[in-house]
Structure 1
Amino acid sequence: MKKEIQGRKIVTDTAVAYGQSKNTGLYALAAAVNTLWAEGVTDISVKASVCVPPYVYKSRRNGMMKLLQETCQEYGICLEEEEGITAAVVTVPEVIVTGTGITDEGSRPEILPGWGIVQTGWLGMSGMLQAAEERKRELSGWFSPSFMKQILSYQKELFAKSVLEAAGLLKTKEGEKVSFVRQIGSGGILAALWNLSKETKLGLDMNMKAFSILQETVEVCEYFRLNPYQLSSVGSFLIVSEDAEGLAEQILAAGGKANVIGSLTDSHDKLIHNGEEIRYLDRPAPDELWKIYQTDLV
């Protein structure tokens, strides 16, 4: 949500995450603050609520809250308000984070057909991490300890501040920003592309082979029979730019991950090329992460 006040705007975003892992709150926190950073907000305040069912020990709830506190301190985020609740109304722990900040109200150039679309980060990564944490014991019986360690090492990439700085989305010395940026949230990259087309009122011409995905995500998704293209991707963004190649190179030079994955068109078609195969983008589907809570999954 955005609200303009005398040439500046207040930006807020609320994110929710569910799960048994002590890291559950990090997914909600990262989703909210990444969205604000992408709007150019540098001073962020957050409110966090951790609600757990009665069967969860208070120590686990407190551990989740402590991790939120430590992470906010690490990234210079003001944890303005926090609360821990035990309630029978939830069946798994629920973390709600609302972030707020103020940024300058600047004009961005009109987006035109032919402009490129850059994907930063790794699609499906956050969903893969959550699935791995929620079913860690099960996966540990299938994958090697070194592979499990590698999976969990990607936690640090949930927070995309450095990548957004490299893309010029946070204030630079010249105050420049790119034209359009959206985090790949619930429903994965396919939902994000659909929403991008809807918001810009332009068509899409995408190259699926250019999508960036970790081998670890492929392996975990194959095990749980999940579609990684419909999996939450906190920390990964779609950025539209007139100079998409230059933007991707700029992010890569700063140590981030970025690929040009397609472009906008002047038609209403939403096309995805996968080699010689061409498909039309479907309407967004529910996030695949919910499937890991089904007892008959495997």
Structure 2
Amino acid sequence: MEIGKLPNDLLEKLVFSNIKNKREEVLERAGIGRDCAVLDFGKDVCVTSTDPITGASKNIGSIAVHISCNDVASNGAEPIGLLMTILAPKDTTEKDIEIIMDEAGETASKLNVEIIGGHTEITDAVNKIVVTTTVIGKKAKEKVIPLDNIKPKDKVLITKVAALEGTGIIANELEYKLQGKISKKLIENGKKLLNSISVVKEGIICGNIGVPYMHDITEGGVLGAVWEAAKAIGKGIRIKKNSIPILDSTKEICKFFNIDPLKLISSGSMLIIAPDEKVNIIEERLNKEGINISVIGEVIEEGIIMENDGQIVEIGQPESDELYKVV
């Protein structure tokens, strides 16, 4: 099998099909394009999500906290507590563990999230450090908006820029390959992107505004997120390639490694679907917080497509992320 998260058709066949028991307290459950589970806790709901870090070795403590907090925020919920599991190979040092936890603790403090437990183990079952985080958040039950509220012509937006996390990981991990090939300034700009991989702020803001769907753009990049979003909402999506913001550092790094920035992991960017009448208020509130947002398309009756210089390209099921071609 290919490296990366399991393809969606195999998730349906091997994973979701074997989840038999359903409880009435579960308001939102496992599915394609769904970042979180939502549990009924009375006047509030509990929102939870889990993710591993496998594609990076630097900044792993910080990234691990961000990715699961991002998923919870994509449901409009405030992250509260975090469980962290560290599986490390035999050659791991005490300093390695200390660095991970120092990064995780600092990042959690910035997000006002408490690390409430977990597990740390040295094992020969892994050949490099794997960190998995599970985040628990909450939001008011009245803020839960059914996906069937989404209608054709609702707008599709993304925050920040495409390929944000992937650019940051490559610039940090493979700087030695980029030196002398692209400018030092672009490399440094790329490295700094890992400081912007949180979507907690925009998730909470848009949750309070009341948007029906958000999706943290992770493995598979923008195109993967669009495909998964369409499957989650049960409708089609049309996007315009020229409307998707991409930094020069990303363009040059992706060009050098011959990878597609629109299929590169992009934690830190949020895909949002919202009715047209809410777009201005979303833009106003996010811009006030220094968060850029772009309208890249709209919901349609059926089909998952991208317009590119007058041509229509079908967006297929995401495959292994472009990141794994180079790191």
TM-score, normalisation: structure 1: 0.88
Question: Could you tell me how far apart the structure 2 residues matched to 1:77 and 1:51 are?
Answer: 22
Tell me which residue corresponds to 1:262.
Answer: 297
Question: Could you tell me how far apart the structure 2 residues matched to 1:148 and 1:231 are?
Answer: 17
Change (3 A) 1:134 1:92: farther
The secondary structure found in structure 2 opposite 1:234 is coil
Aligned length: 286
**Over the residues paired in the alignment, what is the CA RMSD in angstroms?**
2.0
Pair 1:84 & 2:120 matched: yes
Q: Which amino acid aligns with 1:139?
A: L
Counterpart among 148, 153, 174 of residue 192 in structure 2: 153
Counterpart among 11, 14, 21 of residue 50 in structure 2: 14
Tell me which residue corresponds to 2:261.
Answer: 228
Tell me which residue corresponds to 2:313.
Answer: 279
Q: Which amino acid aligns with 1:277?
A: Q
Q: Which amino acid aligns with 2:232?
A: E
1:72 positional shift: 0.8
Change (3 A) 1:148 1:99: same
TM-score, normalisation: structure 2: 0.81
Q: How does 1:211-222 map to 2 (within 5 A)?
A: 211-222=244-255
1:147-206 Cα shifts (integer Å, max 9, x gaps): 3322222222111233334x432x4xxxx4222111111111111111111111111221
The secondary structure found in structure 2 opposite 1:138 is helix
- More deviation, 11-20/66-75: 11-20
Q: Which amino acid aligns with 2:121?
A: I
Is the 8 Å Cα contact of residues 119 and 236 (structure 1) preserved in structure 2? yes
Tell me which residue corresponds to 1:296.
Answer: none
- Identity in percent: 23
The secondary structure found in structure 1 opposite 2:171 is helix
Q: How does 1:92-111 map to 2 (within 5 A)?
A: 92-106=128-142, 107-108=144-145, 110-111=149-150
Question: Could you tell me how far apart the structure 1 residues matched to 2:42 and 2:202 are?
Answer: 29
The secondary structure found in structure 1 opposite 2:242 is helix
Question: Could you tell me how far apart the structure 2 residues matched to 1:259 and 1:270 are?
Answer: 19
Is the 8 Å Cα contact of residues 168 and 192 (structure 2) preserved in structure 1? no
Change (3 A) 1:19 1:61: farther
Question: Could you tell me how far apart the structure 1 residues matched to 2:236 and 2:79 are?
Answer: 35
In structure 2, runs of 5+ residues without a counterpart are: 1-36
Is the 8 Å Cα contact of residues 22 and 64 (structure 1) preserved in structure 2? no
Is the 8 Å Cα contact of residues 210 and 261 (structure 1) preserved in structure 2? yes
1:9-29 Cα shifts (integer Å, max 9, x gaps): 211111111256340232222
Pair 1:197 & 2:230 matched: yes
Q: Which amino acid aligns with 1:160?
A: V
1:232 positional shift: 1.0
Counterpart among 57, 65, 70 of residue 101 in structure 2: 65
In structure 1, runs of 5+ residues without a counterpart are: 294-298
Question: Could you tell me how far apart the structure 2 residues matched to 1:43 and 1:227 are?
Answer: 32
Change (3 A) 1:203 1:19: closer
Counterpart among 175, 179, 187 of residue 136 in structure 1: 175
Tell me which residue corresponds to 1:53.
Answer: 89
Question: Could you tell me how far apart the structure 1 residues matched to 2:307 and 2:242 are?
Answer: 8
The secondary structure found in structure 1 opposite 2:268 is strand
1:255 positional shift: 1.6
The secondary structure found in structure 2 opposite 1:44 is strand
The secondary structure found in structure 1 opposite 2:78 is coil
Question: Could you tell me how far apart the structure 2 residues matched to 1:77 and 1:195 are?
Answer: 28
- More deviation, 102-111/58-67: 102-111
Question: Could you tell me how far apart the structure 2 residues matched to 1:19 and 1:191 are?
Answer: 17
